[in-house]
Amino acid sequence: MMLRLLEPVVKRVAQHIATISRKLRLNVLAPSPLVGPPDTLIILGDGEPDDYVMALVAWARDGKKTAFITRPRETGITNAIKLLKQVYLPKALGLRRVIVVIDRHRRSLSDIANEALGALRQHGFEILRQSESAQGWLKEFTCTWRPEAQITILVLVNGMGKDEIYAEDTIEVHLLEAAKHVLGQEAMESLLREAKDECGRADPERAWHSLSRKDRWEVFNALRKRRDLLKSVFKQHDHAMR
């Protein structure tokens, strides 16, 4: 799958996707003009390094399909759904599927589903069906947003449920777990000890950014070379992009 930016988008997203595409030879940025408009939109609801990750996951899906990708300045599910209704859907009328990528943090998956449901209703979506998959990490809502205009909205929740290890459940947890396979279990356990908070759990964002730039790119490169690792660490992301 290839990616095409949809405005308005935070400028760093374009830079990050272009950088990882070039460095790892993903060729994931779609050429312009396209033969036809994409029917899928990925909204990054929390920011980086989600953009790097979704570029890798999109690349791993292969195929000639193209999806729009964007990241609003304001984070969160409610803001993403508001912009979807007010900006993105009117701008890209061919959309049939939207993936909103969001960190779990310390919330329950049911709380996140309830927020999404409330935001959809608040902004005028009529819910036709609701389901979940990937052990609850993927919430699916089939809706109409205007008469006879149906859309499927997937809320893709970042996290692995390792609350005994990490203080927050975020995209960095996936990357740190991948790093254990790349940089070594012992080295990563030492790094996580250095990033512990007062409750004895590691801050995943702090831990990920405490890795050297070289080590972070080594992890990204390993995920590119080892699709089995990419799919095992980013299970719900792989499921959402099918």
> Residues 143, 147, 150, 154: is their CA dihedral positive or negative?
negative
pLDDT band at 8 (very low <50, low <70, confident <90, very high): confident
Using CA atoms, how far apart are residues 55 and 203, in angstroms rounded to an integer? Answer: 24
Domain boundaries, the chain: 2-160+236-240, 171-233
| CATH node for 2-160+236-240 | 3.40.50
102-144: pLDDT as tens digits: 999 999 999 999 999 999 999 999 999 999 999 999 999 999 9
Residue 35 has pLDDT above 90, yes or no: no
pLDDT band at 34 (very low <50, low <70, confident <90, very high): low
Q: For the sheet containing 40-44, what is the strand order?
A: 2-5, 66-70, 40-44, 97-103, 149-158, 138-146, 126-133
Which pTM value belongs to this model?
Answer: 0.95
Answer whether 160's CB lies under 8 Å from 173's CB.
yes
Tokens of 236: 């719900």
**What count of Cα atoms within 13 Å lies in the side-chain half-sphere of residue 136?**
12
150-199: pLDDT as tens digits: 999 999 999 999 999 999 999 999 999 999 999 999 999 999 999 999 88
189-204: pLDDT as tens digits: 999 999 999 889 999 9
Residue 30 has pLDDT above 90, yes or no: no
Using CA atoms, how far apart are residues 205 and 199, in angstroms rounded to an integer? Answer: 16
Residue 100 has pLDDT above 70, yes or no: yes
pLDDT band at 33 (very low <50, low <70, confident <90, very high): low
pLDDT at 61: 86
